[in-house]
Chain A
Amino acid sequence: MSVRNRVLVLVSALTVLAAVGLAAVLHASARAERRDHTQAGGPRVTSGTVSLRGSGRLVFRNLAWGPHRDELTSVPANDPDGPRTAAGLKCLRFYAAAGTGVCLQAVRGPVSDTYRALVLDASLHIRNRYDVPGIPSRARVSPTGHFAAWTAFVGGDSYAGTDFSTRTAVVDTRGGELIPSLEAFRIVKDGRPYRSADVNFWGVTFTDDDRTFYATLATKGRTYLVRGDLRARTVTTLHANVECPSLSPDGTRVAYKKRVAGLPEDAPWRLYVLDLRTMRETALAEPRSVDDQAVWRDARTLVYTLPGDYGADLYEVPADGSGRAREISRAAVSPAYLG
């Protein structure tokens, strides 16, 4: 084939490929139009004031299509699928307690998105900003509102990099002091000091003493529930195979996701509750794999998200293993009960 013909073949092929690529981009950007229209049969969302001080309210990130998609919205706790009040603040992940909120956001940069954590007061005004080193995955505020924590996935950088790690930060919301990574804490594993370069932490949950927390520690392919001490800067392993712990309001139990043998690799978890005094595990009545840090609606009920048509939906299930799971609200993620 002469050079001229080869160039001709290349140019015509490039034209076809460019058309295919352009069509794909246009098709995906047309979605933006559809998403900006309020979804038929979806919840009613209106602009309004959202306060983190009230009681009997549930605040979450609204995923329903329309102008308020991804904004924090507030609904009555006893009518979670009712009309939503949107605050105008967009968060990827959110949590709140005792009038303090934490909101993890994406920030558009020149090259790629970066992420930040905002500590909010009860009127959603920003008290402090912190850089987050990767894609946000978990957020929590202590029952006193004095501490907040978040976890981010920090990605690999090799070709088709698949080596991920997590980084978990804790901040004192009163003085603004940041512990950038729990990996600086001393680890006591099975009663002995433990060090390893492959240690990862995620899913912090706080007690109400402004000192103790629980979290997941992962090392050598296994996960552990750890009890941490913010003053002594130590963590101690308590129980194996615990991820994303969530402490009950009375501080006696931890709800968590457990890897159950024999389940498919991409849906490996089931919800369990661990009694911290007896270390007895109770399987909950949710038959699907849950990849979330559950929240306690009250002493008897857990609320969590499962993937849904608009991203995620909220479900609840009794904390004692009885009853069955039930959907309570669609197109919502990152729930936080106030008061």
Chain B
Amino acid sequence: MYVADSRASTSAHDAVRPPAGRRRAAVTPTVLALGTVSLVTDVSSEMVTAVLPLYLVSGLGLSPLGFGLLDGVYNGFSALVRLVGGHFADRGGGRHKWIAGLGYGISAVCKPLLLVAHSLTPIGVVLAADRTGKGLRTAPRDALISLSSTPETRGRAFGVHRAMDTAGALLGPLVAFWILRATVDGYDAVFTVSFCVAAAGVLVLVLFVPGGRGAPTAVQRPTLRAAFALLRRRDLRRITGCALLLGLATVSDSFVYLLLQRRLGVPDRWFALLPLGTAAAFLLLAVPLGRLADRVGRWTVFLAGHGALLAGYGLLLGSWRGTALPWLVLALHGCFYAATDGVLMAAASDSVPEGLRSSGLAVVQTGQALTRFACSLLFGAAWTVWGDRAALAGAAVALVGCVAFALTLRPKGVVGA
């Protein structure tokens, strides 16, 4: 069943709404404001991510190896945080803005704390808090994007948001290294500027993203039970099921870059720059693929994105070794993100009632995150036992199976143009 959702206009919208008679803008001011918040916040967080290893090794003289242990524990915790954030955002008729704001705020406050944390444990705690903030805000933010765009233009709205988000992620390291060069051991300056940037992001959210949405159209009390009862809806169950399945065959980014280096002999110098290639492709393709999803159906584009990933696996496994190969693999990898990340949220939005939007999106995101984490563990184990090539071949076969199975499920939610 498809739930129509009328875009409630709020006082914030009235001021910036295009004059009547013109076609309503596909990308509303709210989406642009949220995109700006994400762009600015990503500049801030990627600044820290970019200099953190250097700071640990050269600034504090610590070994960064002790960190990996935190990750596994933390993955489970962040899944829980996501669900909790989604649930609270739906309470009281939609507190999406405030829960998202809390998430952005926590992350902002973490930046100056890095100035006073000088050993691994406190730094680990600060990073965990930072990621808690990220987990808290993701579902409400995506819910806001979906609630402030029409079903026909949702793919594009998510595409614009993801493109802005990725632009921030690409800018962050540039800003950070510029500061490091203009100063001597300017890590404190990087963290301070990062905090200022994050605070600006929170401000844009508070000032320019409309808050309460009045009474939700679908009168369903946002209880936890209701959130899980969502999975009784056939559409959402299918989408979640497919996202889980496909997540199981999605090899994590760091493995992809390692394979690129091992199989294609990417020079060591470029290794750190590989993620930038993926991000650049994601940035360029997010909007066009979002629009395509609105036109030809989100599900089609979502599956095609996994096809792109499969093509990337194929290139890594194949015997062709051209100079263009790393570029092609990175382009396909970025294409996979552009065709799946926002598109999945757009597809899921169609089958979750407004009153439970954050909870529903959180369920899908959490499921996907957990299966991807499981895939990382499985892939690592397969790599150990059979070597990298066989492990990748296994992932490719699993991906073919998952895509084939997903094709048979084929949830509706295809909104024709």
Contact = CB atoms under 8 A, between A and B. Distances in A.
Given A6-B208, A160-B131, A291 B53 contact: no
Contacts of B61: 291, 307, 311-312
- Most chain B CB within a 10 A radius of its CB, from A29, A92, A116: A29
B385 interface: yes
B68 A163 contact: yes
Interface string A145-170: 00000000111111111111110000
Contact of A134 (B49, B253, B272): B272
Given A28-B183, A108-B181, 11 more contacts: A6-B208, A9-B207, A10-B204, A28-B182, A112-B173, A112-B177, A153-B57, A159-B45, A160-B131, A162-B127, A291-B63
Nearest to B48: A160
Interface stretch (A16-24, A38-46, A231-239, A277-285): A16-24
A153 B53 contact: yes
A266 B186 contact: no
A21 B384 contact: no
B173 A164 contact: no
Contacts of A155: 52-53, 64, 272
A161 B66 CA distance: 13
Contacts of B208: 6, 10
A132 B268 contact: yes
B254 A163 contact: yes
Contact of A266 (B15, B62, B185, B196): B62
A20 B196 contact: yes
Given A25-B186, A29-B184, A157 B192 contact: no
A79 interface: no
A329 interface: no
19 contacts: A21-B196, A24-B192, A28-B186, A28-B189, A29-B189, A108-B181, A111-B173, A112-B173, A131-B269, A134-B53, A134-B271, A134-B272, A137-B63, A153-B57, A154-B271, A159-B49, A163-B68, A163-B71, A195-B385
B34 to A, nearest CB: 15
Nearest to A137: B57
B104 to A, nearest CB: 14
Interface stretch (A94-102, A196-204, A318-326): A196-204
A311 B182 CA distance: 20
B268 A135 contact: no
B184 A162 contact: no
A158 B45 CA distance: 11
Interface residues of B, number: 70
Contacts of A111: 173-174, 177, 273, 276
Interface string B195-224: 011011001100110000000000000000
Interface string B6-50: 000000000110000000000000000000000000000100111
Contacts of A163: 67-68, 71, 254
Interface of B: 15-16, 45, 48-50, 52-54, 57-58, 61-71, 119-121, 124, 127, 130-131, 134, 173-174, 177, 179, 181-186, 188-189, 192-193, 196-197, 199-200, 203-204, 207-208, 252-254, 257, 267-269, 271-276, 380-381, 383-385
Contact of A164 (B15, B64, B257): B64
Interface in A2-50: 2-3, 6, 9-10, 13-14, 17-18, 20-21, 24-25, 27-29, 31-32, 35
Contact of B66 (A159, A265, A311): A265
A114 B272 contact: yes
Interface in A248-296: 264-267, 291
Contact of B192 (A2, A20, A133, A153): A20
A180 B173 contact: no
A218 interface: yes
Contacts of B183: 25, 28-29, 31-32
Interface in A188-237: 195-198, 200, 218, 221
Nearest to A19: B196
A298 interface: no
Nearest to A152: B268
A161 B173 CA distance: 13
Contact of A200 (B65, B130, B185, B384): B65
- Most chain A CB within a 10 A radius of its CB, from B45, B181, B254: B254
Nearest first, the 3 A-B pairs at minimum CB distance are: A266-B119, A28-B183, A24-B192
A157 B254 contact: yes
A18 to B, nearest CB: 7
A109 to B, nearest CB: 8
A28 B207 contact: no
B149 to A, nearest CB: 21
